[in-house]
Every structure is written in structure tokens, then in C-alpha cells.
Structure 1
């Protein structure tokens, strides 16, 4: 039995005394203890070493009164397991030396045995659960198939992902074949995470907003929904689509437990689009954590007031930025923990 189950209550739509709080990328570069490890080990060594991944997961939990932990990893471990040699290049970000540019390359992409290729993630879950000692839930995650495809075809980050989109529109059959392979791998990966003990899984569709509403249904949501259909009988599934407010009505009809929001939509409009029935998560602008602690507290309380305390999980609208002062992150979290209804 998890002692602090606020997060799970919110996912179940139950009445809570206050909304739960956690932050995307909370085990990240803004923490000095994280930067110490970063200086000793490269990025994917940290991901692939269960002891390091577990330790990084716990760093923000030891520092702040958060209501959930999220396992330290990366969305690109999935395409790595499928045979794509992604690197993390300092100052550049994700990098794939030989990106997918032809349908023939798609044929060679494998759907791996996740136990063989991603066992280190599952080992990290076991270590982390021991350290958490049932205090708070642990969240597992994966990237959406569309977001993974973007990196696989583009070969790295992009402001527009034009190369990835062009591939899909020029070679739709190959694009769907690749998306399905990513989907099948992701479902197996997340199912194993649930078997290992995570309490919920989140699907990050970081680049869904690059697509038109029509293309989003074709190239992104249909594959996310396959993941939701496969995982929802086993655990809570949260779908977070950055820039995807246009799809909220469609998403609400699915079996997701919650929908994540970025900072570009008003709480009232998000509630309206989701028929006032969905647990929502977000949507504080990460850059707003550069405001004073007093301003942050005021804005968080206003955000809770606008969303309502029930069916709501306080979070950022995307990952926390690396240059956020520790006291500002704490102000964000404590504003929720100390919140009282008027």
C-alpha cells in the first residue's frame, strides 16, 4: 500500500484534500547533485546503469515533498533497443549518425525482445521501488511513436521536423510500418514496467504539435491510442501532447486516465474541451519558474483555483529548465503542498 496516494487518487478521479504535484524532468539538470554525476558519467551510461538511474530518480524526492517519482531514463532507449545507435552530444542533444531516409531501412528495423535490450530499465525500477519504500508512486514513461519517428528520420532535434514529415508524406506505407514497429516495442516495454511495479505510465508526444489536426490523427494519435488500449487494463495511462490542444476532445473519448497540458491553453478551455470529466495535468510555463518565489506561489494558487482541486495534477507544461534556481522549484512544489481551499 502506497502511503501517499494523492497522485493515484487524482488519476482515479477521486476527491482529494489538495491536488498532487510533480514536475516533468524533476530529476534533471537543475539539481547540483545531478550535475555532479553528469560530470562523471555520460548521459546514456547514467540511463543504462540501474544504480545511477535509481539514484538520479531519488534526488528530487530527497530534496522536495513531491507526490510522485518518475524513473530517470530517456525516450530514445526504445529506438536504441530497435537497433538505432542514438548518442547524446553535448551542446547538440540527440544524434543519430545514420538516420532513416528510405523505406528499405525501415524493413531492417527490428522489434526487439525488451527483456534482452532494456533489462537495465527494469532493474532500475526494482532498485528505485526499494528506495521509495511505498512512500509515493513511481511513474514509468515512453515517447510517443510519432515523436520517436521524428528523431529516427531527422537524425536529431529540429524546430520543424520537415525531413520526418516529408518522409511520411512521400512514403506513407514505410512511415506506418515504422510507427507500428515503434508502437509494438513501446507496448511491450511499458507492460514490463508495469509488471516490475510502476504505478502509472506517461506517453510523451513532444512533437505532436508539429502536425496538422488531420495528420495528427493519422500519424500520432492512432498509435498512442494503441498504447492506451493495451496498457489501460493494467495501469493508469497519461497522454501528454505538447502543442496538441486541438486533439483534447478526441483524447477524452479514449481510455486514458489523464491528459497532460502545455502552457498554451487556458484551464477553463481545457476543461471545456475535455467535457469536465477528465483528470488534467499541467500547465505552468517552465520559464515562469524564473519569477520570484512569491509570484510563483501566487500563480500556482491561481492555477489550482482555475482548474479546481479535483481531477487535477499540478505540473509544468513541459520539462523544468536547467537554469531554474532551487528555491524557485521549491516554491512551486510547496505552493501546492501548502494549498488550502478558500
Structure 2
């Protein structure tokens, strides 16, 4: 994930029997034969796995000295448009930590830039939009996104997938609400007052804005999937600012349309937001196969809220990684114990890796989770 991410910080198939990730599987899972049969993808599909898979949001980023070296002097948005650099950065945490999945290095505002929105990512601030979108005339500036707008995405995903081999690549995009907040506010916001003023004050324009952003996001995800991404994650970093009823009526339909738009691809779809404990049930209904959970809600309680038929992802507090290794393992064990009854579990943090995190702590955590959950 990107520098900007640091500043924004059940319907479905039949219910399957819940099994503990600490107990041997009833049938030994086959040896991975490509990304589609990896532990990560199998967990997304709630299938038996050889161990609980691990990846970290923002695992490719400022916590790695090798990342800082290759990014030195290159602006964030420019780096996202350099396929060789994107491939190198995406691969770095896989090499160093041995994680079970890579996440495509980009930024959630890349598709907005690609359709002509004048924006930049300011260090220490995040995305800043030169002309915020607040009227119907402004909406006209948001045109459709096509594959021709982002050839660098196709090239980077293809060559990254080729380098990864059996390790799956997770594509990602920003959800309509979070993208709308950046566009309406003109940048990061603590209270989202202009966003909510538009949402309540001009519901028709708000609906049209989210529908337009849903179409852009869907196209952006489909480009990544067509180029070889094995799964996709929709980041709704700011949606925790909403009350459940506002989310249900004013936001969820747009997010659901994104998941519907990529359903025919067959790749697992992950839905993640920050501060969304009160929204988990609704997020489970939006159409994803996996619901990401931040660190505020234990996974067993999150499973109750989300309902059956979904895998869960999460949810160690990123700040725990600053504690001594024994304390990190104790807290990781709490997460794994809470996940013992889940239909499928992907171990992750409850948000992105903090920039000052010791990379060795992440490597040790991956090893601990793999060792603790290995099936006989």
C-alpha cells in the first residue's frame, strides 16, 4: 500500500462447518500448485489450509529500508506509474518476510489521477485535490476509466505475477465513499464535514458521485484481475465515520456494485474499513467473500456480527509490533485463539504497518503464525 494509506489512515454460499485453525484438517490439503491453490486463496474460499496464511496491509512501504532506497527522490504518484519499480517494491516483503501473499504497490487515488483529476500526494499530508468535487458541474470531470488509461498497471501486474510464481498477488482499490471523501474535502479530513454536508444536503448528487466512483473503481479492479491478480481488496478507510443507517442507505449500494462488477472473474473479494465495528454486519452483506476486521473487535465477536458464509481477515493492533517479541507472540496468540472457530481466517494487522515498525518484528510474526498453525 501507499504512503497515502498511512494518512487515511451474509449472502453467499451455504454455511460450512467451522473448524479450528489450530487443529489438523480433516483432509490434508494438496501441495500448492499455483496462486489459485495457495494457502491465502484457499483461506479466502474457506477451504482447508496447511497453515493460517499471513500478509500485512502496507507491508510494502516505509518500514523497509530497501523500499526507502528505491523510492528515494521519486514522488509517490510517479512511482506508481513505473512498472519495474512497482514490481520491485511489491516483491520486497515477500522476499524478506515470507508472507503468503503480495499486495500490489499503488495508491487508491491512482485511478482518479488517470481520469484527469488534478491531484498530488503531499508528503506528510496525503492526497490533495486542486479543485474539489462539490457540484454537478464538478461531477462532469469524472469520466469513465478504461484499460488504455492505465497501461502501466497492466504491465506492472503482469510482470509482478510472473516474478511471484506460486505466491498470489492481491490487487486493490479505494472504495467509493473514501474516494468521494478525498474529492469532496479536497484532501484528508478528520470530521468529513463537507462530505457529510453533500451526502445529506444533495442526496441525488451524492448518489451520482458514488455511482461514478463505483464504475471507476470496478474498471480499475478488472484491469488488475485481467493482468493476473489472484484476489482484490476494497479499502474503505474512512467509512467508519458513518452511522450504520447512513452506510446502509447511502454508501453500501455503491460498494456492492463494485463487488458485483468483479463477481464473474471468480477471484476472492475482500472488504476492509477502519473503525467499522458497528458496520461489520452490513459490510458482510455488501458482497465480499472476506471481511477485514480492525483491532477493535475480537475475531470471534466479528464473526458473530458478520454472519456465516464469510472468511475473516485480521486483526493484530499494528502498535503491538513495537513491544518485545514475547508480548507480540502473546497478542498474536490471542488473535489466533479468537479465530479458532472461523470458517476461514487470514492473519493480518488491524490496519497498515506503521512506518517505524522494525522489519524483523514482522518476519518473526510471520514465522510464529506459520509455526503455531501448521497442520500435521
Q: Name the TM-score, length of structure 1 as normaliser.
A: 0.95
Give the SS at the match of 2:66: helix
Q: 1:83 aligns with which of 116, 123, 139?
A: 116
Whether 1:13 and 2:46 are equivalent positions in the alignment is: yes
Counterpart mapping for 1:225-244 below 5 A: 225-234=256-265, 235-244=267-276
Counterpart mapping for 1:1-342 below 5 A: 1-2=33-34, 5-113=38-146, 115-133=147-165, 135-234=166-265, 235-308=267-340, 311-340=344-373
Kindly tell me: are residues 274 and 90 of structure 1, through their superposed partners in 2, closer, same or farther at Cα, counting changes over 3 Å?
closer
Deviation at 1:101, TM superposition (A): 2.4
Give the SS at the match of 1:202: strand
Instruction: Tell me if the contact between 2:113 and 2:119 (Cα under 8 Å) persists in the aligned partners.
Output: yes
Kindly tell me: are residues 341 and 118 of structure 1, through their superposed partners in 2, closer, same or farther at Cα, counting changes over 3 Å?
closer
CA distance in structure 2 between the partners assigned to 1:310 and 1:330 by the alignment: 26
Instruction: Tell me if the contact between 2:145 and 2:219 (Cα under 8 Å) persists in the aligned partners.
Output: no
Pick which of 288-297 and 26-35 moved more: 288-297
CA distance in structure 2 between the partners assigned to 1:255 and 1:222 by the alignment: 10
Kindly tell me: are residues 186 and 65 of structure 1, through their superposed partners in 2, closer, same or farther at Cα, counting changes over 3 Å?
same
Give per-residue Cα distances to partners, 1:288-312, cap 9 Å, x unaligned: 1111112112211221111127500
Partner of 2:9: none
Give the SS at the match of 1:13: coil
Give per-residue Cα distances to partners, 1:167-226, cap 9 Å, x unaligned: 222222111111111111111221121111111000001011111111111332111111
Kindly tell me: are residues 117 and 208 of structure 1, through their superposed partners in 2, closer, same or farther at Cα, counting changes over 3 Å?
same
Pick which of 23-32 and 168-177 moved more: 168-177
Give the SS at the match of 2:62: coil
Give the SS at the match of 2:181: helix
Give the SS at the match of 1:25: coil
Pick which of 245-254 and 179-188 moved more: 245-254
Please list every run of 5 or more consecutive structure 2 residues that lacks an aligned counterpart in the other structure: 1-32
Q: Name the TM-score, length of structure 2 as normaliser.
A: 0.87
CA distance in structure 2 between the partners assigned to 1:303 and 1:196 by the alignment: 34
Give the SS at the match of 1:24: coil
Give per-residue Cα distances to partners, 1:228-260, cap 9 Å, x unaligned: 112123111111122222222233345421000
Kindly tell me: are residues 341 and 51 of structure 1, through their superposed partners in 2, closer, same or farther at Cα, counting changes over 3 Å?
closer
Please list every run of 5 or more consecutive structure 1 residues that lacks an aligned counterpart in the other structure: none
CA distance in structure 1 between the partners assigned to 2:133 and 2:288 by the alignment: 31
CA distance in structure 2 between the partners assigned to 1:73 and 1:207 by the alignment: 18
CA distance in structure 2 between the partners assigned to 1:229 and 1:182 by the alignment: 14
Instruction: Tell me if the contact between 2:153 and 2:223 (Cα under 8 Å) persists in the aligned partners.
Output: no
Over aligned residue pairs, what C-alpha RMSD do you find? 1.7
CA distance in structure 2 between the partners assigned to 1:325 and 1:341 by the alignment: 25
Kindly tell me: are residues 108 and 93 of structure 1, through their superposed partners in 2, closer, same or farther at Cα, counting changes over 3 Å?
closer
